[in-house]
Structure 1
């Protein structure tokens, strides 16, 4: 089953997010039919902060090795690592040539603002012209940055779908009414971020969500397990909490 078809099954596609080849290969061995990447994990592994737009080479390098996996791979390219439309289209073309099946392309910017809608739809259209076979998951940060904005979410979801996006991703959306509104607004698969206690699989399945991503959670859990194991060897406290997104950003911040 190809990556597009995996979004139209009887139940939501669970997409775990890897940060290196070993994590990706382990997830494939566990039976997951597709693998994504986590931009936080990729950046932090390189000693960089996430969403700063400077991990293009690390993202490409990881994509090349993950393409060896026997399942579809989708790559988080943040905002495309450039404000130039041609640069983003060129990047996705290069990813497609490596055998990458999908990308996440977000409208959130490092300064906490959203990219202008007309710019974002222009980028989406250009990417789809350059690499039509790649599943473009258009992420909007209308719920992720600041106060949730349902009206703007619906406006962007419709516009992204009309521009050619194959799916829409709204991280941070949790309420039934909001999720149903997005499902009704855009006739493309909806991706929701898994948030413990807020977006459980059974409820997302009941609502009709098409894809549930783990985001940076697996990477952060791996850091937790690493520190816990090391402290256990030294006779220390073996019950360490998982670092938050912000905690990881602070670990690698210059």
Structure 2
């Protein structure tokens, strides 16, 4: 294992982490940071070649690429998949490692750094149930302490995803996580109409995922998003194209 404060690989250098962190600040409202989600090395290279300055792996997309249901990927396989992605590109990569796989904060940080990632996405629900926000904030503080400045911590807020429609629940959780040292918060599933309120009440960068048929990226930025990620959405679009190609080949054979 790599010491949590050490530099690792191309993606894990101190300069890469700080460069990734800087991408989240000083942005115009209509220019959110767009981080596509690679599910393997080939897709990561395609996104880098398209000119994106950084990438963010989606755990659901990686799981699908490995033949697992979302949430069922063994930790070793997830970290190995992230490592294949980070070593295939020269841009910084943030890794979605779900709820941390039950690892102690120091071990979790070490394994993320060993994978070459410069950031980590951590969710606040388990088996479909929201975690106690104060206990989760304390755990995030331990992750932050173990990582120091070596990882960008994106704290996912799952209240909307778990059916809690009151935005105050998401705001309360997000504020606790920011106070615990999170660099960014991600209220997954937030209805776009709530974004201005969240933006006004939460300090620091705000990660948002687009809804199918919802506002485009620039509009999400104007509503309050600092960065936009896509979860497994890009993989789903790619697989639709693969199925179409497969159908064409089948019909012509």
Q: Name structure 1 gaps, 5 residues minimum.
A: 237-254
| Partner residue in 2 for 1:37 | 57
Normalised by the length of structure 1, the TM-score is 0.85
Partner SS state of residue 130, structure 2: coil
Partner SS state of residue 75, structure 1: strand
Structure 1 173/199 Cα, relative in aligned 2: closer, same or farther at 3 Å? farther
Whether 1:26 and 2:43 are equivalent positions in the alignment is no
What is the Cα-based RMSD across aligned positions, in Å?
A: 1.7
Distance in 1 between residues matched to 2:236 and 2:213, nearest whole Å: 17
CA deviations over 1:60-82 (Å, ceiling 9, x no partner): 10222222211110000111111
Whether 1:193 and 2:196 are equivalent positions in the alignment is no
| Partner residue in 1 for 2:94 | 74
Q: Name structure 2 gaps, 5 residues minimum.
A: 1-17
Equivalent residue for 2:200, pick from 184, 198, 206: 184
Query: In 1, are the aligned partners of 2:95 and 2:121 still within 8 Å (CA)?
Result: yes
Distance in 1 between residues matched to 2:46 and 2:177, nearest whole Å: 33
Q: Which residues in structure 2 correspond to 1:47-196 (within 5 Å)? A: 47-52=67-72, 54-68=73-87, 69-82=89-102, 86=104, 88-110=105-127, 112-132=128-148, 133-176=150-193, 178-196=194-212
| Partner residue in 2 for 1:15 | 35
Identify the structure with bigger relative contact order (alpha carbons < 8 Å, sequence gap 6+).
Answer: 2
Query: In 1, are the aligned partners of 2:32 and 2:218 still within 8 Å (CA)?
Result: no
Stretches (4+) displaced over 3 A: none
Structure 1 97/57 Cα, relative in aligned 2: closer, same or farther at 3 Å? closer
Normalised by the length of structure 2, the TM-score is 0.86
Cα drift, residue 147 of structure 1: 3.9
Whether 1:2 and 2:19 are equivalent positions in the alignment is yes
Q: Which residues in structure 2 correspond to 1:204-215 (within 5 Å)? A: 204-215=220-231
CA deviations over 1:111-157 (Å, ceiling 9, x no partner): x2101112211221111111122110000111112242311101101
> Paired residues, what number?
230
Distance in 2 between residues matched to 1:136 and 1:25, nearest whole Å: 24
